Structure 1
Amino acid sequence: MMSHEAFVFLSYGASAVTLAGLLAAILLDGRARRRELAELEAQGVRRRSKPAGGAS
């Protein structure tokens, strides 16, 4: 039977692995979006500016 400490350590380990995976996914996605923006800007596509009248 698993001791209480082993359960706690495994739980913390699983949480750490999950958080590390989420952080890696966020960072990789951010890099991909920046790369896509750079490619679009190199093609001459520009970002839209805010409307002058404040309408959405």
Structure 2
Amino acid sequence: MNSYTNTILTVIAICLVIIIIELAQPINAQRSILDVNIKGVGGSNVFRKVPMKIK
């Protein structure tokens, strides 16, 4: 193999090692509770079961 091919393969190998190192790190998940209830629509409060169309 010539030097150009060796250089390209070395760069690819270095990039793959970097990707593997980044994927091996643990992901920090959010541990707090997130409220996802709908409390208002268009500035109005939502009470009980109000039928509404969601676009």
TM-score normalized by structure 1?
Answer: 0.45
Structure with greater strand percent: 2
Task: Determine which structure has more spread, i.e. the larger CA radius of gyration.
Answer: 2
| TM-score in terms of structure 2 length | 0.46
Larger helix fraction of residues: 1
Whose RCO is larger (CA < 8 A, sep 6+)? Answer: 2
